[in-house]
Amino acid sequence: MKKIQMVDLMSQYQDIKPAIDSVIVSILESAQFINGPEVKSFQSEMEDYLGVKHVIPCANGTDALQIALMALGLKPGDEVITPSFTYIATTEVMALLGLKPIFVEVDRDTFCIAPDSIEAAISSKTKAIVPVHLYGQAANMDAIMAIAKKYDLFVIEDNAQAIGSDYSHENGKTTKTGTIGDIGCTSFFPSKNLGCYGDGGAICTNNDELADKMRMIANHGQSKRYYHDVVGCNSRLDSIQAAVLRIKLRKLDGYIDARRKVADHYDNFFANIPGIKTPVRTEYSRHVFHQYTLTFEGIDRDELNQFLADRDVPSMIYYPVPAHKQKMFESFGSGETELPITDWLTHRVMSLPIHTEMEQDQLDYICSSIEEFLKIKASE
């Protein structure tokens, strides 16, 4: 059996090695490392794939979120509503820009921001909502967009974990996640569902004005060479990463199918085991399983985590500390925020290995290891 990893990037590379190696060599020989034709081509192929007007490639997913927030013309102290149960990048950029993150609850079943919790947190200073499509499943966007419309708020989707996921609207239309709100942000970090071989990210929008602004911000606020109209930053996707992403974008739907097959296998295995809750799949979202995350009740998750590690089965806790309890936000007084569902999940979730190259013997070994743990516990 091959060594089990959370993500097996080496095996995936072996499958596309000839195409990757030859395009990287051709970029080395062209010496167009920045703003080369590969970046332009990737941008337009990504626009086609997502069915969105503008894709703006940038340096990473965190920059994508920062640039999106910078484009909204917000003032220091303005409030942005966000889940606490997310990766730190989502909320960190708010603090960096002098905005106030308002942490709200997630839904216990979907792990995504709870619409009723959003509405309860709205104040006169609220300007935007940042839902996160956590683990690869979309937040309830119809409900979120209705709230945004009612209170005139911007919506920025953190799509770093759900690229390629389809959202089915109440009106029967289907759109890609990241293209529903005003702006969508994604990351091409190597372990993401569409990952490059370094850092990378992108922003997308159907709004021409926001697109122009974000392009300018990502390029030192420049309107014309050496003319800088607004304070911006330097955030670029390089040619080698764009070339890698072009090859992998063509495989993305196949990669998603492979992940969903692994998830189906796990779902079947854990279906009738008391105390283990498999990921809930909503009607409105096609889950792309960036993570396969179980919720444990009455089973000691940390003990299982260690038991698996002793058998060379990796498992991860995303995330052990929610944003509102991070030291980083102490000065925001967010420690006093009470988010019981978030806290409850923080102590009970655990993610199992899932990637595009998983083999049957690996899946069997992971499942039987968990079964063994449960047998030992039952006999104690």
Ligand X SMILES: *Cc1c(COP(=O)(O)O)cnc(C)c1O
Tokens of 92: 């960190």
**Residue 40: how many other CB atoms lie within 10 Å:** 13
Residue 312 region, left (φ>0) first, then alpha (ψ -120 to 50), else beta?
left
Element (H, E) at 343: helix 340-346
**Nearest-approach distance from CB 192 to ligand X, in angstroms:** 6
Tell me which residues touch ligand X (CB under 6 A). Answer: 60-62, 86-87, 89-90, 132, 158, 160-161, 187, 189, 199, 201
Inter-residue long-range contacts of 299-306, CB under 8 Å, 24+ positions, other chains counted: 299/275, 299/374, 299/377, 300/377, 301/347, 301/348, 301/349, 301/350, 303/373, 304/350, 304/370, 304/373, 305/350
Closest approach, Cβ 65 to ligand X, in A, equals 6
- The least distance separating ligand X from the CB of residue 223, rounded to whole angstroms, comes to 26
Closest distance to ligand X from the beta carbon of 90 (Å)? 5
Burial class (CB in 10 A: 0-12, 13-18, 19+), 316: middle
Cβ-based neighbour number of residue 35 at 10 Å: 15
Q: Select 141 or 363, whichever has its Cβ closest to ligand X.
A: 141
Distance CA(293)–CA(138), nearest Å, equals: 15
Identity of the residue, 132 or 204, whose beta carbon is nearer to ligand X in the bound complex: 132
What is the C-alpha to C-alpha distance for residues 55 and 266, in angstroms, rounded to an integer?
Answer: 35
Q: Minimum CB separation from ligand X for residue 286, in Å?
A: 18
d(CA 43, CA 236): 12
181/307 with CB nearer ligand X: 181
184: amino acid identity, one letter? G
For ligand X, the closer of residues 32 and 43 by Cβ is: 43
For ligand X, the closer CB: 198 or 221:
198
Please report how the helices 61-70 and 89-96 are oriented relative to each other, as an axis angle in degrees rounded to 10: 40
* Cβ count near 206 (within 10 Å): 16
CB of 226 to ligand X, least distance (A): 29
The minimum distance between CB 189 and ligand X, in angstroms, equals: 4
For ligand X, the closer of residues 86 and 346 by Cβ is 86
Residue nearest to ligand X (CB): 61
| Cα–Cα distance for residue pair 299/297, rounded to 1 Å | 5
Query: Using H for helix, E for strand and C for coil, what is the string for 146-167?
Result: HHHHHHCCEEEEECCCCCCCEE
**Closest CB 231 distance from ligand X, rounded Å:** 20
Residue 46 CB, shortest distance to ligand X, in Å, is: 15
Helices 9-30 and 239-249 meet at what angle, rounded to 10?
130
62 vs 295, beta carbon nearer ligand X:
62
